[in-house]
Amino acid sequence: MLTGCGKSDDVLVVGTNASFPPFEYVGGASGDEIMGFDIDLAQQIAKDAGKTLKIENMNFDSLIVALNAGKVDFIASGMTITPERQASVNFSEPYYEATQMVLVNKDNNSINSLDDLKDKHIAVQLGSTGDIMAKSYSQQVTAFNSGFEAVMELKNAKVDLVLFDSEPAISFLEKNPQLKMVELDFSPEFYGFAVAKDKVELLNSINTSLSTMKQNGGYDALVSKHMK
C-alpha cells in the first residue's frame, strides 16, 4: 500500500547528511554506500519497527524542512537537541554526548581560550550548532554546505579555524596531518533523532529501540565499532 507521498508502508525513510564521519559518511567497498554509527542505529530502529530502512542524503540545513514536509520519517544526522529545533520537531531521548572542537593549521598557536575566537575568521557547516556558536564569537563566519568544504578552506588558509563537532573533527584530523585540534571549554551537546511533531508513535518506537540497544549491549557494540 502506498501513502500520500508515495512511500511504501513497510519502508522507514531516514534523512541524513552523509558528511559527518563517523556518524554518517559515504564509503564502503562500492565507495558510494552511506554508512556510520547513526546509520547502524537507524537500521536497528527500522528493523524493530518491522520496516526496511531507506536513506535520503541531503544538506544538513534541509533536513528539518524535509521532515516537516513528510519527505523523510526521521532524521539521524548527529543533530544536537536545541530549544530552537524543539520548536519545530520532537527529539528522541539523547543518544550521544558531543561538544564543539576547534581545528587549525599546525603552525597556528594563537587560539588557547574561547576569548581568542573573537573576530577570527571561522568556517562552519551551514545551520549547525557550530555555525550559531561561531557567530556569537566573531563577525567573520563563513558557512559551507559540508564540514569537508570548511576543512578545505582551512587547509587553503582562507580561514583561521573550523568550528565543528568533536567526533567528525577527529575524523577529519586523521586524514589531514597538517591540521591540529584545540580543545576549548565548550558546553556539552546531546544528539537526538528528530521526528515530526505529530509522529508520536514513531517517536515512542525509536525511544524503545534505543533503550533496548542500551540494555542489550547493542549500543555499546556500535560505539566500539565506530568511535576511536
Residues that bind ligand GLN (CB under 6 A): 17, 20, 60, 77-80, 125, 128-129, 165, 189
95 by DSSP, 3-state: which? Answer: coil
Question: Which residue, 129 or 209, is less far from ligand GLN as judged by CB?
Answer: 129
Rounded distance between C-alpha atoms, residue 61 and residue 43, angstroms:
23
87 by DSSP, 3-state: which? Answer: coil
Which alpha helices (DSSP H) does the chain contain, by range? 37-48, 63-68, 83-86, 129-137, 147-155, 166-175, 200-216, 218-226
Cell (9 digits) for 225:
565499532
Its sign, for the CA torsion 119, 123, 128, 130, is: negative
Question: Which residue, 22 or 49, is less far from ligand GLN as judged by CB?
Answer: 22
Cβ at position 129, least distance to ligand GLN in Å: 4
Question: Which residue, 128 or 209, is less far from ligand GLN as judged by CB?
Answer: 128
Question: Which residue, 76 or 196, is less far from ligand GLN as judged by CB?
Answer: 76
Question: Which residue, 160 or 165, is less far from ligand GLN as judged by CB?
Answer: 165
Cβ at position 49, least distance to ligand GLN in Å: 23
Question: Which residue, 73 or 165, is less far from ligand GLN as judged by CB?
Answer: 165
Report whether 158 contacts 144 (CB < 8 A).
no
Cβ at position 108, least distance to ligand GLN in Å: 23
Q: For every residue of 167-208, which 3-state class applies, written as one string?
A: HHHHHHHHHCCCEEEECCCCCCEEECCEECCCCHHHHHHHHH
Cβ at position 128, least distance to ligand GLN in Å: 4
Cβ at position 34, least distance to ligand GLN in Å: 13
Q: List the one residue out of 48, 41, 78 whose CA is nearest residue 219.
A: 41
Its sign, for the CA torsion 223, 224, 225, 228, is: positive
